[in-house]
Amino acid sequence: MTIHLSKKYYGGNIFVIDAQNASRKNKYIHSAIINNKKLNSWKVPQKEIIKGGKLILEMRDYPDKHALTGQ
């Protein structure tokens, strides 16, 4: 998914969300990387989104209770 941010408020930056291996079966997030930094929380900082860049979600076919917790 590509989000085109407002040029007036956010300089016209582009933010891309890439759910790798996503399918009907692979619907659970295993890990996330935003602008080359691993996320250790389910929170995506707004400042990272508005400066543009990419959020990569690695999808799996099973839930992981430790996903994005830093454990």
Q: What is the CA radius of gyration of the chain?
A: 13
Question: What is the pTM for the complete model shown?
Answer: 0.84
- pLDDT tens by residue, 26-44: 999 999 999 999 988 888 8
pLDDT confidence of residue 40:
87
- Structural domain spans, the chain: 2-60
- If 0-12 CB within 10 Å is exposed, 13-18 middle and 19+ buried, where does residue 5 land? middle
Model confidence at 7, pLDDT cuts 50, 70, 90, reads very high
